[in-house]
Amino acid sequence: MTAQRSGSPLEARYRRLTRWYPRTWRAANEDAFVGTLLDVADAEGRAAPTRRERLDIVGHAVSARLDRIVVPHVRDAGSTIALTMGTGFALAEFLVSSWAPWIHGNPVPESLVQVGPFRDTGFVFAALWLVALAAALAGRLAVGRVALVVCILAAVVTPYWFVRFPGGAGVSTAAPSPSSRRARSSPSSVGRSAVTTPLRPRSGGSCSASRATAASST
Amino acid sequence: MSSGELREPVFWILTSLTGGRQHGYAIIQAVSDLSEGRVALAVTTLYASLERLQKDGLVQGDGDEVVSGRLRRYFAITSEGEQRLADEAARLDAKLRVLRTRLGRASTATSGGAA
């Protein structure tokens, strides 16, 4: 229980951490804030900030900075719109370019089948967005945040993954079948040739918008 | 601004300040004592809550003191803050009454049904 004098190394570390806060906040609160942090550290006999403290300070400071840029209730509205739009885009992308239930069989028999709800990774991203939206509506913001972070990581990683491990993507060839011949002659399959390019790994690109949401929903 | 339930840290901060003006660390200690160790207030949470409470006029700064080169800022509850606590007590009271009646009825209902 050594009392930390002013100007101690611990005080310097706390003061360095408070630089994350906006300047106006620091001018008003830094001295009192650091004083209390040092009181707590003394009582616990610590000579270093805890991991928890460091994370808390950065988290509060960043949200204080965001409050200064955008008024909180406007920020909430912005997050809501971003989350809802992201989920809408992810579902539309999933429906139109992954699942496409109106296309039967393989529209281009010489190439790989890439149409169907689970033939590419689109369903993973659509599901993660849905989970995030449902969690947010249920007030479980932490769950929603995790879902979006997983979504971003998966979106970044999957293209590399497919390049490294080709063939593991569940892409299957399909022999020409009566139904696919029917599909080929149907007008709806005309515009689908881009979907059936052989072995082009696709991942739901609709996750990039989630960065803005994750950042602004703290 | 006197709508909605008080959030846990705010409830304990205001309650601890009813005993008189206190500085940051004293509030943390008081909250820990009053809640019998259940609530460990982080310094960041304390200052974020106090900032909010000051903006809403429930708490005000009550002078700074320097003790061995360390700044101690004192905080005091305002009459508005005391009113807010009284409202909260009434709200909790009403809730508790309903709950107690319900629980009492449930236990008599189950024992009555078994007989």
Question: Looking at residues B41-45, what average pLDDT do you find?
Answer: 94
Say what the alpha-carbon torsion angle A68, A72, A73, A77 is, to the nearest 10 degrees: 90
Q: Give every CB contact of residue B2 below 8 A, 6+ residues apart in sequence.
A: B83, B84, B87
Pick from B43, B48, B68: CB nearest A40: B43
Give residue A113's pLDDT: 63
Please tell me the distance from the alpha carbon of residue A139 to that of residue A101, in angstroms, as a whole number. Answer: 33
Tell me which residue of A145, A43, A23, A13 sits closest to B41, measured CA to CA. Answer: A43
How far is C-alpha A13 from the geometric centre of its chain's CA atoms?
32
Res A208: pLDDT: 45
What is chain A's mean pLDDT, rounded? 73
Answer whether B42 sits within 8 Å of A43, measured CB to CB. no
Find chain B residues with C-beta within 8 A of A43's C-beta: 25
- Identify all chain B residues contacting A3, using CB atoms and an 8 Å cutoff: 68
* Maximum mean pLDDT: which of A67-76, A150-159, B3-12, B78-87: B78-87
Selecting from B28, B47, B69 the residue whose C-beta is nearest the C-beta of A33 gives B47
Interface probe for A, chosen from B16, B65, B70, B75 (most Cβ of A below 10 Å), is B70
What does the pLDDT look like over A185-206, one tens digit per residue?
A: 444 444 444 444 444 444 444 4
Percent of all residues in chain B with a pLDDT value above 70, rounded to a whole number = 89
Distance (Å) from the alpha carbon of A77 to chain B's nearest alpha carbon: 20
Q: Is the pLDDT of residue B80 over 60?
A: yes
Place of tokens 């996750």: A207
Predicted local confidence at residue A165, as pLDDT: 76
pTM metric for this prediction:
0.55
Strands A112-113 and A172-173: antiparallel
Q: Which residues of A touch B (CB under 8 A)?
A: 3-7, 29, 31-40, 43, 52-53, 56-57, 59-60
From the candidates A14, A15, A17, A39, which should be mutated to test the interface with B, based on the most B CB atoms within 10 A? A39
The whole-angstrom distance between B55's CA and the closest CA on chain A is 14
B64–A32 C-beta distance less than 8 A: yes
Optimal mutation site among A30, A36, A44, A46, interface B, most CBs of chain B within 10 A? A36
How far apart CA A114 and CA A201 sit, in angstroms, is: 10
* Contact: B47, A5; criterion CB under 8 Å: no
pLDDT at A108 over 60: yes
Q: What is the pLDDT of residues B89-115, one digit of tens each?
A: 999 999 999 999 998 876 666 665 444
pLDDT tens per residue, range A135-159: 877 777 778 888 888 888 888 888 8
Quick one: CA dihedral A7, A12, A18, A20, positive or negative? Answer: positive
Residue B56 has pLDDT above 80, yes or no: yes
* Chain pair A-B, CB pairs under 8 angstroms: 57
Taking only the tens place, the pLDDT of each residue in A47-60 is 999 999 999 999 98
Smallest Cα–Cα separation from B75: which of B20, B30, B33, B114? Answer: B20
Rounded to an integer, what distance in angstroms lies between the CA atom of residue B34 and that of residue B11? 11
Cβ-contact A129, A94 below 8 angstroms: no
**Half-sphere exposure of residue A38: CA atoms within 13 angstroms, side-chain side:** 26
Closest to B70 (Cβ–Cβ): which among A38, A43, A56? A38
Beta strands across the sheet bearing B70-77: B22-23, B70-77, B59-67
Q: Both tokens of residue A218?
A: 């703290």
Query: In 3-state terms, what secondary structure has residue A131?
Result: helix
Burial class (CB in 10 A: 0-12, 13-18, 19+), A74: exposed
| 3-class secondary structure, A181 | helix
- Whether residue A92 has pLDDT greater than 80: yes
- Give the three-class secondary structure for B74: strand
Given a contact cutoff of 8 angstroms between Cβ atoms, the answer to whether A33 and A11 are in contact is no
CB contact under 8 A, A6 and B68: yes
Q: Which has the higher per-residue pLDDT, B5 or B47?
A: B47
